[in-house]
Structure 1
């Protein structure tokens, strides 16, 4: 196995993921070299859990993680047109609201009319 241009031989590459709380998303923490899954888990616990509180720890052999290829990336570009989700059209909302508030009658002005009919 080759990792970053180096031959690993006996060791395998594992990726370590963790959660700080049970509700938190998994976050990638680091990669490590170990001869098997059991030692990889022990090494991850020793290197990571002693530093931070952890609710969940996942150790996954890198070979088991599938990455999308270039052909599949092309398919993602078709799904990328999500401009309708952006809120660019509301950038001037504060300015428009201020203008609207200036045209609204306040209580003091309404009470000053005293029976006058305004058109």
Structure 2
């Protein structure tokens, strides 16, 4: 791509929603000379495949992402792990261990001796 065409086209990100209540979802990126043509291209490419109630076209350079320092500020400062549900997956293992302790090999073999004495 030459310098002239590289400056002519801009990168756009296309978002859409299927219904009025659905969240916006990123669909694809495209190259276009301006926002109006980017919207037309998005409609032509996307609406042929699936229905949508809304399409957003955003210039990639207008999207701001967090730098590393800002990402670090998202870390929790407090220790409230109890708020995160981890489920009860450990109970199956704990129950299996409990059952194995109840019926170990020595106990089962001792039943055989009691049965012969009766």
Classify the TM-score, shorter chain. Answer: 0.5 to 0.7
TM-score normalised to structure 2 length: 0.65
Match of 1:54 among 52, 55, 72: 52
- Deviation above 2 Å: which 4+ runs of structure 1? 78-92
Give the number of equivalent residue pairs. 89
Q: 1:71-82 counterparts in 2 under 5 A?
A: 71-78=69-76
Of 79-88 and 38-47, more deviation after overlay is shown by 79-88
> Where does residue 19 of structure 1 map in the other structure?
17
Structure 1: gaps (5+ residues): 1-6, 93-119
Q: Deviations over 1:42-79 (max 9, x none)?
A: 00000001110101100001111110011101101236
- Measured in 2, the distance between the counterparts of 1:80 and 1:63 equals 35
TM-score normalised to structure 1 length: 0.64
Match of 2:43 among 45, 55, 58: 45
Kindly tell me: are residues 58 and 80 of structure 1, through their superposed partners in 2, closer, same or farther at Cα, counting changes over 3 Å?
farther
| 2:82 paired with 1:84 | yes
Task: Give the structure with the larger helix fraction.
Answer: 2
